[in-house]
Amino acid sequence: MDTAAAINERDPFISTKGKQKTSLKCDADSIAGCVSQRACVYCGARVVLNPITDALHLVHGPIGCASYTWDIRGSLSSGSDLYRNSFSTDLKEHDVIFGGEPKLQRAIDELVEKYQPKVFFIYSTCIVGVIGDDLEAVCRQSAAKHGIEVIPVQSSGFIGNKAAGYRAACDALLRIITPQKPLPRKKLSLNYLGDFNLAGEAWIIRGYLEEIGIEVNAVFTGDSNYETLKKATMASLNVMQCAGSMTYLANKMQEKFDIPYLRISFLGMEDTADSLRRIAHFFGDAAIIERAEQLIAREQQAVQPVLDTYKGQFNGKKAAVYVGGGFKAISLIKQFREIGIDVVMVGTQTGQQDEYDTIHELADDGTVILDDANPSELERFMTQQGANLLVGGVKERPLAYKLGIAFVDHNHDRKHPLSGFVGAVNFAKEVHSTLCSPVWEYMYDFGGDLHGSDSQA
């Protein structure tokens, strides 16, 4: 099969398992001329910080950037809903020419007076990076004036890609969690990094951990708030779900506060069980280890028959995976195997080399693996590989439907949880509902005929 890229510079970012090329270039800038599926720096920062429930978010830039707000995310809150609002300085031509700092200062004053937030994030955008507004100075003056933390987020879109936005957000979080003096360490407690409580997923995992005797000290950042984040350094362990967004923070917390971390995943039966075991064994408490095994056995006994029912209906089906981070792609390969579906194409927007090495080990021979793909590549390889289903995000959905391929949404705007044992069932149900829908019997193939029918249009 031909996997040569349409643009020659893309060749190192594409490989096929079993062919001569085993390494994959990644973690690099997108190639000029390719319509990358990646998001911008501001988007990456907003993904991480937006779920802090009592924070106020102000986008310093044109109004268009503020469209990326709460309503396209499924992050839930058990407390404040201030995070559901989004505000913009709405920079105009006059502000671009003469500077936007006065407008920013007025906006901060007005919002603090109206909402009295605990913490205030100010996001820079492309135009702010161009005109050179000094966010640090404005935030420092505003913090002194109002007696709250006003934190600049250096997220001008042109300075990198979504991964740079993750780091900008983590730098902002470090300003919050760094204590003035060391805080006491809680023995059986952990911070859960890289979960944004989409459809209540952080609550599901918190329930598992509390059942086996481990306290969740803070979540970064699903259903979190200013006070819980301030106590983050009291945890004895960090566990990290989304490595792409949180590796930088986990490394910094280990370096500065001596808190070790584990990479885990609560996506799919296999990874959920493995993660609970690894966490339990880290603390080395026999009672916790026993309770973890009891929880795993109970949940697997309840869930496995349901998965087996769906598995029998997926014979011969093939899936393509294109998601944001490598951790999710790895878990999805395993999760598809649990329900009897082969993954024939897998890629990510921001995967790291060690993640691609793991993907290469897990994938079957002939699987196409690609980093930072563009729509034409996704279309080409899904078609060549005979994929029946694509798992992706909001940008990939129209492409799948135009190709007549089933689609499963693994993005931030979904309304049902996909983490934990209950998430494994929800995932199988969603795969079944889209893959086995009768609508595919009435789709036109590329020759103009209807799939599964001799009828005329």
Q: What's residue 457's pLDDT?
A: 33
Tens digits of per-residue pLDDT, 179-205? 999 999 999 999 999 999 999 999 999
User: Quick one: tokens of 363?
Assistant: 């994938």
Packing angle of the helix pair 41-49, 243-257 (nearest 10 deg): 70
- Domain 8-24+313-414, CATH homologous superfamily name and number: Nitrogenase molybdenum iron protein domain (3.40.50.1980)
Give the pLDDT confidence of 114-166 residue by residue, as tens digits.
999 999 999 999 999 999 999 999 999 999 999 999 999 999 988 888 889 99
The rounded Cα 245 to chain-centroid distance in angstroms is 7
Percent residues over pLDDT 90 in the chain: 77
pLDDT digits (tens, 9 = 90+) for 281-336: 999 999 999 999 999 999 999 999 999 999 989 999 999 999 988 999 999 999 99
Backbone angles phi, psi at 431, to 5 degrees: -60, -45
Query: 204-230 burial, b if ≥16 CB within 10 A, otherwise e?
Result: bbbebbeebbbebbbbbbbbbbbebbb
Mean pLDDT to the nearest integer, 43-48: 92
- Domain 189-299 matching CATH 3.40.50.1980: the answer reads yes
How many angstroms separate the Cα of 336 from the Cα of each of 234, 319, 361?
37, 8, 16
Mean of all residue pLDDT scores within the chain: 91
Mean pLDDT of 172-181: 96
237 pLDDT higher than 90: yes
Could you confirm whether domain 41-175 is CATH 3.40.50.300?
no
pLDDT score of 127: 93
Residue 274 half-sphere exposure toward CB, CA atoms < 13 A: 13
What tens digit of pLDDT does each residue of 352-389 get?
Answer: 999 999 999 999 999 999 999 999 999 999 999 999 99
Tell me the two tokens of residue 333.
Answer: 């390969």
What span, in angstroms and rounded, lies between the C-alpha atoms of 235 and 249? 14
Q: Which residue has the higher pLDDT, 158 or 428?
A: 428
Distances (CA, A) of 346 to 201, 239, 401, 437, 439: 24, 25, 18, 23, 25
In 3-state terms, what secondary structure has residue 319? strand
Q: Do domains 8-24+313-414 and 41-175 have the same CATH topology?
A: yes
Residue 72, pLDDT > 90, answer no
**For residue 52, what pLDDT is reported?**
96
pLDDT of residue 21: 61
Alpha carbons within 13 angstroms on the beta-carbon side of residue 280 total 23
Q: Does residue 452 carry a pLDDT above 60?
A: no
Report the amino acid identity of residue 53. Answer: T
Mean pLDDT of all residues in 94-100: 93
Question: Does residue 267 carry a pLDDT above 60?
Answer: yes
The residue extents of the domains of the chain are: 8-24+313-414, 41-175, 189-299
pLDDT surpassing 70 at residue 404: yes
Q: What is the rounded average pLDDT of the residues 87-107?
A: 95
> Within 10 A of 415 (CB to CB), how many other CB atoms are there?
10
Q: What is the pLDDT at residue 325? A: 87
Query: DSSP string spanning 120-170?
Result: EEEEE-HHHHHHT--HHHHHHHHHHHHTSEEEEE---GGGS-HHHHHHHHH
pLDDT tens digits, one per residue of 316-327? 999 999 998 899
Specify the pTM: 0.92
Residue with tokens 């390719």: 34
